[in-house]
Structure 1
Amino acid sequence: MIGGGQLARMMQQAAIGLGVRIRLLAEGPDVSAAQVVPDHRVGDHTVLADLQEVAGQAPVVTFDHEHVPPEHLRALAAQGHVPRPGPDALLYAQDKGEMRVRLSVLGVPCPLFELLSGDVEEAVDELADFGYPAVLKTTRGGYDGKGVWVVHDEAQAREVLALGQELIAEELVDFRRELSAQVARRPSGEVETYPVVESRQADGICKEVVAPAPDLDPSLREQAQAVARRVAEELDVTGMLAVELFETADGRILVNELAMRPHNTGHWSIDGAVTSQFENHLRAVLDLPLGPSTPLRPWSVMVNVLGGAVQDLLAQRAVVLDEVPEAKIHLYGKDVKPGRKVGHVTVVGDDLEDVLATARRAATLLQDGSAVGAVDR
């Protein structure tokens, strides 16, 4: 497992039940996953020798993030290691420009886009033709709202272009809400499709997820799941794939981003589905039969816990467990910093409004020490 964040940490939970032993390449000795994976090495995912050392004789190499250089993955593959997903697939989660071009060739619905020149004056002219407002994104490395700018005129565009980063311009989509469609796929081609969920954002960060997406037209649900399956098959993805989507105001879906790993929008599945995204990722990369993604209850709500007023999460945990005993708490072992994802809570049940209110209350108690500030629907 390359990368020691919370995704690798939660992967360890699924690995224990399956009897899978994980060896971890961690960024530091006490990062999130290193706290729970005994067999870990501290190293740098951009250094081939570190990747080779941790891979050893492991049958499969997989990832907590998409930032391993493609040339290193090809070198590992040439030496007999098995990266899953492979470098040819992972490229489309690493580079937004490559992703947009490939999906367009496949006819997958996407926002209008243009790859911008590296020359500032040429890029300004390209944006004038493309039109404002526009969304500028770094082709590599952006996440949780970082590396994304909405520009309304040339002056704002020049400020972003002056940063000297490789950028793509996209239309500013008039969307009703954000959705996520996840699939797990084995090398043999077996695919397991998860319910389409609604992802609710605040300041570019996923705040909460509702599974399944409420009031989603059945035709759009089927289209979203079909898009996710097609992307997984056409790009030869092995493991979990999350396709983040816009549901537009005029009733269409457009692909926003791809993630080839377990994803924040699938955390609900740990407590809300027969087989979690983490277990199915392990099953998929090891080419084991996939488990059903069937929900255990009609509704699941996952709310992220960000760094807030509460500094001692372990002490506050007892308060939440006492006041909201039905809430499932997942802490990531991270120091509390403003806006940092330090955990999440999940609540499942039969009534959506009750489940929403309960999950928000639990998360706010854990984050801020009170029920004040819960997100309104």
Structure 2
Amino acid sequence: MVGGGQLARMTHEAGIPLGIRFKLLSDTLQDSAAQVVGDVVAGDYRDLATLRAFAQGCDVLTFDHEHVPTEHLRVLEADGVLVRPGAEALVHAQDKGVMRARLDALGVPSPRHRIVRDPADVAAFAAELGARADGGAADGFPLVLKTVRGGYDGKGVWVVDSADDAAVAEPFRAGVPVLAEEKVDYVRELAANVVRSPHGQAVAYPVVESRQVDGVCDTVIAPAPGLDRDLALRAEQLALRIAKELGVVGHLAVELFETRDGGVLVNELAMRPHNSGHWTQDGAITSQFANHVRAVLDLPLGDPRPRAPWTVMCNVLGGDYPDMYGAYLHCMARDPQLKIHMYGKDVKPGRKVGHVNTYGDDLDDVLERARHAAGYLRGTITE
């Protein structure tokens, strides 16, 4: 696996019962996964020679992030390395412009969008949206600007409310390609998680609700409460179709906006285990991590069905506790069913250092337990 973050750590954990020998390319030996994997190479994933040397002897190469240069992956494939997902699929999670163009060609519903070169392009796009909205009376703002490559967890995303905002927008100062999108007036954010194997077997997890705070996933509720059954089925089918059309091997997360007219729009794609699927560790018969391992090795996929009526995942962000041992005692004693997953990271304010999972028959109770534990571990709740 290329990438030493928490996703690699948890994927390695899922492979242990299967006897999988796991090799890791990590930025440093202190990264989350490097602390627990036995065979670790410290190196730069952006360096082709490093990637080529690392891939020697591996049966298959997979990733815990989308940042490996696409051209390097194509070289590895030409070398005969089995890369899953492959470069032709992964580029749709690496490059938002490529993703939008392909989804448009497939007729997949997305926010209205355009690649823009400068603030004048942004203003022209906004004017066009405003004209479509009500014959020209609206100005089309606000808009969302996204760097085409490299953004995550709210980074690389800006909301601009006017042409003046666009004129001083950070991505144009940085000189990077920019995707402009309409700011969707949505009901809530959803995520459809699916896994697909090389021989075409695929499974879909229940569609979840994903709640964001400051652009970072805070809470995931599985399944999404009150979601129309037909819409949930359409969202699952849409994710399965995208996985097939793009040739995805492994886990695919399709982040969605639930619209006010009863539909969905595709927001983002991620081709790896995803934060919106962390609930599956304790709430599904087979976790996203276990199924990702099975898929990239072309093993039969496991059952994705939930174990309980409700599962809630809350992220634990760094706060006032540099050492969380005392908080563990409180949370474990208060809720013996609580599942805590920590990533081995140094605690820094706002940094994602772990998550908790709770499950049960009563949604309000499950939500309260997860939020209390995450808040206590962070230090925002003290009793």
Per the normalisation by structure 2, the TM-score is 0.94
Identity %, equivalent residues: 56
Gaps of 5+ in 1: 373-377
Change over 3 Å in CA distance of 1:105–1:371 after alignment to 2 = farther
Mapped pair 1:116 → 2:116: yes
Deviations 1:318-343 (A, max 9, x none): 22212222110000000111111000
Aligned residues: CA RMSD? 1.3
Shift of 1:80: 1.1
Mapped pair 1:170 → 2:181: yes
Shift of 1:129: 3.5
**2:294 corresponds to:** 283
**2:162 corresponds to:** 153
Change over 3 Å in CA distance of 1:210–1:371 after alignment to 2 = farther
Q: Is the 8 A contact 2:119 2:163 kept in 1?
A: no
**1:63 corresponds to:** 63
Select the residue among 211, 223, 239 that pairs with 1:228: 239
Shift of 1:126: 4.3
**2:5 corresponds to:** 5
Shift of 1:50: 1.2
Mapped pair 1:323 → 2:343: no
Deviations 1:337-358 (A, max 9, x none): 1111000000010111110111
Select the residue among 200, 218, 223 that pairs with 2:229: 218
Read off the aligned partner of 1:263 and give its amino acid letter: H
5 Å-filtered alignment, 1:28-177, equals 28-117=28-117, 119-130=118-129, 131-160=140-169, 161-177=172-188
State the SS of the aligned residue for 2:276: helix
**2:133 corresponds to:** none
Q: Is the 8 A contact 1:316 1:366 kept in 2?
A: yes
Per the normalisation by structure 1, the TM-score is 0.96
Shift of 1:310: 1.3
Read off the aligned partner of 2:192 and give its amino acid letter: A
Deviations 1:168-217 (A, max 9, x none): 11011001100000110000000011100000000000001000000000
Which one is further off, 248-257 or 204-213? 248-257
Whole-angstrom CA distance in 2 between matches of 1:56 and 1:276: 29
Gaps of 5+ in 2: 130-139
Shift of 1:124: 4.3
Shift of 1:149: 0.9
**1:181 corresponds to:** 192
Deviations 1:199-237 (A, max 9, x none): 000000000100000000011101100110000000000
Read off the aligned partner of 1:187 and give its amino acid letter: P
Aligned pairs, number:
371
Shift of 1:369: 6.3
Which one is further off, 78-87 or 45-54? 45-54
